[in-house]
A and B are shown apart, each in its own frame.
Chain A
């Protein structure tokens, strides 16, 4: 019995291994992607609508060529030249070089310098990054004198803040006491749950750290001329903070994701605006800004959604772009039939297990089960045995993976079954 249970575990291991290896092996051997390639979506300030670009492959006389096609949500096609004129803000350098950059866009007087200075792009995430609990605090005046750059790292323990002198790995008692006193004065409850700062050195120096204390209150901690500067901040709609991303433009101090997945913009005056975005929990996205818009893109499995906001963060439009979830090519259809399950890992989604539609693979799985049943009968395995039935069920569910698994780890017949089959032979 124990041996048979161990065998089932081993078969499941084999199924997992095969489901992660075979689909990739298949993809490298046959292209199951179909005749369409990379897709992208952009918002035209001229059309006030989205334009989708897609790289399309075509095969003629065994020669594969590709070209980019452009179309909008209603299926209207655009030529390459007309598209260039619809994205003036994106093509500012090229248009200025060719002397074709207009004086006004949408009734606003513009210059290439103004457009360039307003453009930015940044990633943001609802998932907090790796957190060691140890940070470096840069002085606000570091840019004027290198002597004010950090000479230590700090942590916030249940007893208070501790600055560690890096060279000796010892605690700077005097500096620690000064900062602990200042934090205590503002009712900070030790220890800190989490601290965030900007990866941008100048922003990190200017703002310092956003810190949540043990009661989930939000503080801003920075340092000026070696003295602590601490400020207690309001939380957006009094919600607990899940992650903080610092902004790259002058109108966004920070992007805060709350524990319920809502996204808030914190303005330079520390006021908040809630964005009309779906829950960001477990997601990472991009924020692109230009003279007129703030554009958020949230990727998901097989699709991405782009949300366009005006400069006051009012939602103007949104559009989802789907990446053909169903295969277009013959190789893709066969992949779904032969390999019903794909196990893998992506940076966005962590571990995943993707099943093909059941109607695509079930008949093939039943054929494999019939073959497995034939061999089981031939080897004298009885159908009344629970482990024989389990084997067959594994083939029905996992198809070729289960088939490989049960033959890689063959099922031993019981002594009773062997005796019975021998007596039947006699």
Chain B
């Protein structure tokens, strides 16, 4: 247990500043979207604004699309870049714990940190937009943002997978596959149109969460 605590502390030391930036970035963008929504709502008038939203299904929050991906990059790179420099992760993998446990302590730590960076902002945002928007619009808005959030989590798992791959040519190949997989999460869909895609995206995210096991195993065994 003490080893795990130390492992988590090590992760915290590596990621704390980047996670703080990610948290502020997330909150800042969401508050900006809310201010923009409020301004448009008040200047156009409630009926006109909501009617336009319902008719044109415009994404007033589209600026948020790549924020979860950016947060995943910040957390993932800050967490795994120091580990792969000079193969420092080998030190952690030689601790008297099962390798899978060590890897998943790191990955779950990153996942929780990512969730803590994104979820509070989303909850505050939901509360704020509910002042102006009825539930029939708030819910599709969240349904539209959910693929982006899942895309953030999936990107984090794929970063972990790529980071722990020992061979550069394979890293490049994984990067190409990851790009294609992630493009599924960031398709330009009208508000609420992603509902039928959500189960697929959840499945892809779950499957990507086990990907780091494969490359970390290769990393540990020095397989080329």
| Chain A residues in the interface with B (C-beta under 8 A) | 2-3, 6-7, 9-10, 13-14, 16-17, 20-21, 130, 132-136, 149-153, 155, 164-169, 199, 404, 408-410, 412
Contact = CB atoms under 8 A, between A and B. Distances in A.
A254 B60 CA distance: 33
B214 A6 contact: yes
B54 A169 contact: no
Interface stretch (B22-30, B89-97, B172-180): B172-180
29 contacts: A2-B213, A3-B213, A6-B214, A7-B214, A13-B177, A13-B181, A13-B207, A14-B177, A130-B57, A130-B140, A132-B137, A133-B136, A134-B54, A134-B134, A136-B47, A150-B47, A152-B47, A153-B50, A153-B51, A153-B134, A155-B134, A164-B134, A166-B45, A166-B47, A166-B50, A167-B45, A168-B46, A169-B133, A408-B174
B3 interface: no
Interface residues of B, number: 38
Given A408-B177, A410-B223, A136 B54 contact: yes
B147 to A, nearest CB: 14
A255 B217 CA distance: 60
Contacts, number: 93
Interface string B154-192: 000000000000000010011011011100000000111
Interface in B113-139: 130-134, 136-137
Given A133-B136, A408-B173, 17 more contacts: A7-B214, A9-B210, A13-B177, A14-B173, A21-B176, A130-B192, A136-B51, A149-B47, A152-B47, A153-B47, A166-B49, A166-B50, A169-B134, A199-B55, A408-B174, A409-B214, A412-B223
A2 B214 CA distance: 9
Contact of A412 (B57, B192, B221): B221
Contact of B213 (A6, A199, A404): A6
Contacts of B57: 130
Nearest to A166: B46
B176 A17 contact: yes
Interface of B: 45-47, 49-51, 54-55, 57, 130-134, 136-137, 140, 170, 173-174, 176-177, 179-181, 190-193, 207, 210-211, 213-214, 217-218, 221, 223
Contacts of B45: 166-167
A413 to B, nearest CB: 9
Given A169-B132, A169-B134, A408-B170, A17 B177 contact: yes
Contacts of B49: 166
CB-CB nearest 9 A-B residue pairs = A166-B46, A17-B180, A134-B136, A408-B173, A167-B46, A132-B136, A6-B214, A166-B47, A17-B177
A128 to B, nearest CB: 12
Contacts of A20: 180
A20 B211 CA distance: 21
Contacts of B181: 13, 17
Contacts of B221: 412
Contacts of A412: 217-218, 221, 223
Contact of B210 (A6, A165, A168): A6
A46 to B, nearest CB: 41
Contacts of A151: 47
A136 B133 CA distance: 14
A83 B115 CA distance: 65
A264 to B, nearest CB: 27
A169 B49 CA distance: 13
Contacts of A165: 46
B136 A169 contact: no
